[in-house]
Amino acid sequence: MEVVALILLLPAFYLAADLIHRWMGVGSIAWGSRSSPKIALTFDDGPSTHTQAILERLRQHGVKATFFVLGSQAQKYPELMERIRAEGHQIESHGQVHRPAFFLWPWQEARQIRAIPGRFYRPPHGIHTPFTRWLTKAAGKQIALWDVESKDWTKQDPQALARRILVWCKPGSIVLLHDNDQFPQTLAILDEILPRLKELGYQPVRLDELETRPLTWREGLMRASQGGHERYFIKNKVERLGLGPFDYLAVSPCAFPGPSQPGLQKGEPSLEVHLDSVRTPAMTQIQLLREGRKGFTLLAEYVQSNPEIRGIWGISQAAAGLRVFGFHLAPVTFLQRLISGTASAWFLWLYRGELPRRSLPSALLGYSPREEFLARWLKKAKAPENPQ
């Protein structure tokens, strides 16, 4: 009976290990400091016949990256391994062969982890067994995952994939790409993102140059919620106001939910303001003010070109902060206050680690009618820059 029970429980142990350590990433490296514009581009599966083309693009843009290589490929292309090292890139282990850990005995997985010397190990597909973390620690390594997946292994349009990377890249991000001749999308994606990342203010570096630490359980929940966050953006047509490292404002089109206010009536076409819960905790008050002004200046140009938009608004416990940007404040209904307060309490804990407090302000409506918003921000958008 005990043997039967163990056999039945074994799949549950494997599933739990993969859920906690791959999907959530608890205990792994998945991103760096959110207060620095440094990010790490990482390439799995190589070296390959695409390695030289990847290296040429990285060299052209002065970018250093990290290659998680396979032992079998390293043996096949020793000259490419030497070239990766010679050009100053970091080399880490992706195992001996690209086989999911589910299909390896523990002693085989141990050999996988030790296939390539280095500080980090990235399991193929990120898949974990109940033994992966113990074996990695025994090898003196750290699991390295990611927080931005390029999806270069799909057949999607590479320009759309590049745009997606730029939208979801954040300070400290670890971007997953591939050095694999079966995925031709990667080269086209690099052609798009390498110049843009630097233009936007990001600093691509090697993984060992990021300020990293293992994810806590709370941060694991943050990582697990990323897919839902992206689906929410798509469903509600949320657009970021700027793609720079610290651009924290986004808006989505909707009918103004009310209560009706002077210059903005319930049901009128409007834009809801969203604040980035990942970026803002790591930003100073001066940064928040500067980047907020930049975001609303960009938004003014969009509002001017869309005359159907009658106002800008947001409901939050942090709505009082919109006053500095010229927004009016107004009370909300009990239901709006309840929904916003519950959401704010969750996000405060998830992204800041703060527990609910009675001293927190009640949710308020911050709003700006179209004419007032344009009068304040369109002049800033058109104003010439001061000479240096």
Active-site positions read 44, 178
CA 99 to chain centre: 27
Distance between CA atoms of 67 and 90, rounded to whole angstroms?
6
Supply the angle between the helices 185-200 and 51-60 in degrees, to the nearest 10.
Answer: 20
Residue type, 246: F
User: For the chain, first and last CA: distance in Å?
Assistant: 80
Q: Residues 128, 131, 134, 138: is their CA dihedral positive or negative?
A: negative
Strand order of the β-sheet with 239-240 is 239-240, 249-255, 269-275, 311-316, 364-369, 328-330
Q: What are phi and psi of 178, to 5 degrees?
A: -130, 145
Catalogue the E-assigned strands of the chain: 38-44, 66-69, 90-93, 120-121, 142-143, 148-149, 174-178, 203-205, 239-240, 249-255, 269-275, 311-316, 328-330, 364-369
CA 102 to chain centre: 27
